Amino acid sequence: MKNISRRNVMALLGAAPLVGAVVARGETPKPAAGAAAAAAASRDRIRERHFPNVELVTHEGRKVRFYDDLIRGKIVVINFMYAKCEGICPGITTNLVKVQRMLGDRVGKDIFMYSFSLKPEQDTPQSLAEYAKMHKVGPGWQYLTGAPADLELLRRKLGFTDPDPLVDADKSNHIGNVRYGNEPMQLWAACPGMMKPEMILESIGWLAPGLSVMSAKGDRK
């Protein structure tokens, strides 16, 4: 840690995007001018805390940025897996494939599904493409790998962790939850990946229009 740069220290403290603001404003931010400004401010805070703009590679070999290309302005469904996982992954993938079928052509249009690799050192774009093909994953659902440190950062930022370090280190027993979010609406929630696909779909519907059978919310403007 001797060669730690000032930038890295800021990143470590998670304060980087705010340093300028804090110093300039002397820690007395002015009340937001209006609802739109307040919404923008809180949306920025979520991005700063949880959405590092790391570079990733899709199973189709495309280079993407996590925030810019995968999250910003989108409704997303997220899980973590690895291609050779024989534990919980196949079950969750099967489940999510059913969700994808129910979502139909909205996947890739206004709802995006992402699976992030827990073992990026093994999971090449090609092996992820094979995994996707084997599970009959449809278009609009992307499998992502990249630099191991970046995927580890993402895993932690998105809360796919266990507070017990021993449990957390055991990838064969990894977190099997599915997160869904509506980034511009600042709505984020999660459910077990093994929950019934109809209920996962319904849960996504509480933050995406036109899907929920229980709530009029999705259709309200």
Partner 1 sequence: MANISKSDRTKEKRSEIAAKNRRELIAAGLKRRDLLKMGLLTSAGMLIPKSGLSARPLTSAGFAYDDTPQSRPTTPFVEEMPRLVEKTGSASQTILTGPPPQRTYNSLGGESRTVDHQVFNELPPQKYYEVHQRAFQAKAHREFSQPSTLWGYDGIFPGPLFKAYYGEPMLVRHWNDLPPDGQNGGFGLNSTTTHLHNGHTPQESDGYPCYFNDRGKFYDHHYPNVLAGYRSTHPNVDPRVGIPGDLKESMHTLWYHDHRFDYTSQNVYKGMAGMFNLFHKNGQFDGGDETMGFRLPSYPNYDVNMVFNDAVYDRQTDQLAFDLFNLDGILGDKMQVNGKVQPIFRVAPRRYRLRWLNMGPSRFYQFSILDPTNNSTRPVWQLSTDGNFLDRPVKVNGVRLSVAERTDVIVDFTGMAGRTFYIENRLEQTDGRGPTGNVLAAGQGTKVLQIVVDQPLQGTDQSVNFDTALASLPAGQPYFYGYPDMNTPVRVTRTFKFERNNGQWAVNGKFPNCLEPPRFTIQLNTAEKWIFQNNSGGWQHPIHMHFEEFQTTRINGRAPSASGIVEAGRKDVLRLEHNMQAEVYFRFRDFKGLLPMHCHNVVHEDHAMMVLLNIGDVGDLKTNP
Binding flag, residue 124, partner 1 (CB under 8 A): no
Binding flag, residue 164, partner 1 (CB under 8 A): yes
The answer to whether residues 193 and 180 touch, using CB atoms and an 8 Å cutoff, is no
In this complex, which beta carbon is closest to partner 1, that of residue 38 or of residue 134? Answer: 38
Instruction: Identify the three-state secondary structure at position 179.
Output: strand
Binding flag, residue 165, partner 1 (CB under 8 A): yes
In this complex, which beta carbon is closest to partner 1, that of residue 46 or of residue 147? Answer: 46
Binding flag, residue 37, partner 1 (CB under 8 A): no
In this complex, which beta carbon is closest to partner 1, that of residue 129 or of residue 153? Answer: 153
Q: How far apart are CA 20 and CA 175, in angstroms?
A: 36
Q: Please spell the DSSP secondary structure of 69-126, one letter per residue.
A: IIITT-EEEEEEE-TT--SSHHHHHHHHHHHHHHHGGGBTTTEEEEEEES-TTT--HH
Binding flag, residue 210, partner 1 (CB under 8 A): no
Binding flag, residue 74, partner 1 (CB under 8 A): no
In this complex, which beta carbon is closest to partner 1, that of residue 22 or of residue 134? Answer: 22
Q: How far apart are CA 126 and CA 147, in angstroms?
A: 15
Q: Which of 75, 107, 175, 211 binds partner 1 (CB under 8 A)?
A: 175
